[in-house]
Amino acid sequence: MIQLTRRALAGLLLTAALTVSFAPAAPAFDGRTITDITGREVQVPTDPARVFAAGPPAAVLLYTLKPQAMIGWVSAPKPEAAPFLLPEAAALPELGRLTGRGDTLNLEVLLSANPDLIVDYGAVNDTYIDLAGRIQEQSGVPYALIDGSFAHMSQGIREMADILGVPERGEELATYADRTLADLDALLAGIPESDRPTVYLARGSEGLETPARGSINAEIIERIGARNVTAAETQGLTSVSPEQVQAWAPEVIITIDRDFAANVGNMPEWQGIPAVTNGRVYLAPSAPFGFIDAPPSVNRLAGLIWLSHKLYPTAATGDLRTEIADFYGLFYGIRPDEAVLTDLLGE
C-alpha cells in the first residue's frame, strides 16, 4: 500500500489549488438559456455573430437563415455551387466536420475561428446528443442540436432562427415550408395509391448505392407519397446488385450522380427496368445544394416541388420553373434567370 506522506499530501493540495485558480473563469454571460431537442439547457448568446454549423445539413439551414454569421463550411461548396451563393459565403474556409462519419475538425482549429455558437441540424440520436454535450463541455462553446426530419421541418426552422436571433427570417421560411408541405398534401389527396410510382434512388457512378426506406437520405421519397423500392435490413446507405434492381422493377429512378444518369441508357444490365425503358430516370439538380439529399436539409423543399412535377406530371399544378426560382429567391437570396434555370433543371 502506498503511504501518503505529509509532503505528498501538501503537494497534492497545492496542485489542486493551482488547478482551480488557473481554471478559466466563467465569462460574463449576456444571453439566454434555451432547451434544445436533446433536453439539454444551452446558454446561447442573444445575437450570435460567429456560428459554426457542425454538419452539412446544419450549414444549409444556417446559410439560409443568417449567412453573415457563418464562419466556415464543413466541406467547401463545389465550384458549380458558387454562382448560387453570396461571394463572401462561397469564400469561407473549409474547417472540417464535427459529426457523422469521422471527425476531421480539430477543436483547436475551431476555437481559433472563435465561434460563439455551434449548431447542428439533422438526425437526432444518442450519438449526436452525446457528441453535442461532449463538444460543448470540451470547447466551452454552446452547442445546440435541432431535429432535421421532414415532420419537424417548419418547427426546426423556427427553433434554429430563434437561437440565431433572426425570428422574423425564420418565420418567413417556416411559413413557406408549411405552405409547400400543405400544397403537397392537397396534391397527394387527389392521387390514388395506384398512381404513385415505385422509386429507386441511385447513388454512385454505377448506381448501386442506395439509401433504404427509413434512411434520412431517402426520407423525401416517402414524403412525396411514392414508394422507395429499397427495403433493406439497415436504415442507412446500402449496396445492391443490378439484378436486385431488376427484381424490384422501379417505375422511376432518381439519381444524384451525373455519370450514372448519362450512362444508364447504355448500361446493358439496366435494360428492361421500367424506369429505363420509359425514360423516367431523373437527375436531381445539385447546385448550390442537392434537391434530394447531399445534404438532407431545407434544400429538400425544392426537391419536393421538383419531384411533384416529375412523379405526378399530370396532377402537379403550377409552373416548375417559377416555383424553383421563387424558392431560390427566398432561401438563397439569388433569383436565377431563365438560362440559369434551364441549366439547373437540365431541361
Partner 1 sequence: MSDRRLTGLLALGLVAALLIAAATGPFALSPSKILAVLGGDRSDPQAVTVLWNIRLPRVLAAAVVGAALAAAGAAYQTTFRNPLVSPDILGVSAGAGFGAVLGILLGLPVMAIQFLGFGVGLATVGLVLGLTLALRGTGQVLVMVLCGIAIGALASAGISLVKLLADPEQQLPAITFWLMGSLAGVKRADLGAATPALLIGIAPLLALRWRIGLLAMGDDEARAMGINATRLRILVIACATLMTAAAVALAGIIGWIGLMVPHMARLITGPRFDRMLPAAILIGAGFMVLVDTAARSIATLEVPLGILTSALGAPVFVWLLARGARPWSE
CA distance 239 to 52: 33
* CB nearer partner 1, residue 33 or residue 271: 271
Indicate whether 243 belongs to the interface with partner 1 (CB under 8 A). Answer: yes
Indicate whether 231 belongs to the interface with partner 1 (CB under 8 A). Answer: yes
Indicate whether 214 belongs to the interface with partner 1 (CB under 8 A). Answer: no
Indicate whether 75 belongs to the interface with partner 1 (CB under 8 A). Answer: yes
H/E run at residue 155:
helix 153-164
Indicate whether 212 belongs to the interface with partner 1 (CB under 8 A). Answer: yes
CA distance 137 to 271: 55
Strand partners, 34: 42
Cell readout for 12 is 497534492
Q: Applying CB under 8 A, which of residues 259, 315, 335, 342 lies at the interface with partner 1? A: 259
Indicate whether 338 belongs to the interface with partner 1 (CB under 8 A). Answer: no
Rg of the chain's alpha carbons, rounded to an integer? 24
For residue 72, which of 84, 63, 83 has the smallest C-alpha distance? 63
Indicate whether 56 belongs to the interface with partner 1 (CB under 8 A). Answer: yes
Residues 94-123 that bind partner 1 (CB under 8 A): 97, 100-102, 104
- Neighbouring CB atoms inside 10 A of 116's CB total 17
Helix (H, G, I), strand (E, B) or coil at 238: strand
* CB nearer partner 1, residue 8 or residue 267: 267
Helix (H, G, I), strand (E, B) or coil at 193: helix
Indicate whether 172 belongs to the interface with partner 1 (CB under 8 A). Answer: no
Helix (H, G, I), strand (E, B) or coil at 91: coil
In the bound complex, what is the minimum distance in angstroms from residue 154's beta carbon to partner 1? 25
CA distance 237 to 252: 19
Q: Applying CB under 8 A, which of residues 36, 120, 159, 257 lies at the interface with partner 1? A: 257
In the bound complex, what is the minimum distance in angstroms from residue 190's beta carbon to partner 1? 32
In the bound complex, what is the minimum distance in angstroms from residue 81's beta carbon to partner 1? 13
- Binding stretches for partner 1 (CB under 8 A): 56, 75, 97, 100-102, 104, 203-206, 208-209, 212, 230-234, 237-244, 246-247, 256-257, 259, 267-269, 271-273, 293-295
